A and B are shown apart, each in its own frame.
Chain A
């Protein structure tokens, strides 16, 4: 079956660093995505990993270990506007079509 797990909620302080973990068990794998979603709004793309290792993009970094079925999103220098849900998603598919499986999302609250 397809299963993606993330913590339901996390809390951190402004200026701090937070790591959001994601574990997955899917029938296929063609990349792992992280999205940010503010309440009532559309998801916005944050990062993509298909090979093992760390991808850095400004204050956000994402790590992937395919052998462990594990990824994390690292947010540095937290700001109040980072309070949102963070969705982990696995893509299963090739060049013909893409099937996505999303995790339940982690709601992050950034406190002053």
Chain B
């Protein structure tokens, strides 16, 4: 158990809908990272937040947005869902923002299925 929690574990929805994925980082960690993992794309970095502030952006679609709240939990919002958005979404956390700390701790993931 990494100490990172994600809810829900599974989510099934229809095309065109909007969903929110939630992540609570390990106690004391200030950075949260979101990743998408699909069979054909591998693990893709989406976005990083540090202490409520966006710090880095990867391959995140405009239909997706994220935020980190004062209690440090984070939410990933996915809208106008398409079949291709079906994937495992992982959240990870680390104590700081930059290169001085190297290990990220991954949550168990949310499996999103878009029908």
Q: Which residues of A contact B (CB under 8 A)?
A: 30-31, 33, 41-45, 48, 50, 87, 89, 91, 93-105
Contact = CB atoms under 8 A, between A and B. Distances in A.
Contacts, number: 72
Interface stretch (B44-52, B67-75, B78-86): B44-52
A30 to B, nearest CB: 5
Given A42-B107, A89-B43, A91-B99, 8 more contacts: A42-B106, A44-B106, A94-B98, A95-B99, A96-B98, A97-B56, A99-B56, A103-B42
Interface string B53-78: 00111100000000000000000000
A57 B56 CA distance: 30
- Shortest Cβ-Cβ A-B pairs, 6 listed: A95-B98, A97-B55, A97-B56, A42-B106, A102-B43, A100-B45
A50 B102 CA distance: 10
Given A42-B109, A44-B106, A94 B90 contact: no
Interface of B: 2, 31, 33, 42-45, 48, 50, 55-58, 90, 97-100, 102-109
B86 to A, nearest CB: 15
Which of A48, A87, A102 counts the most B-chain CB atoms under 10 A from its CB?
A: A102
B99 A104 contact: no
B10 to A, nearest CB: 12
B2 A42 contact: yes
5 contacts: A31-B102, A45-B102, A94-B98, A99-B58, A104-B42
B99 A98 contact: yes
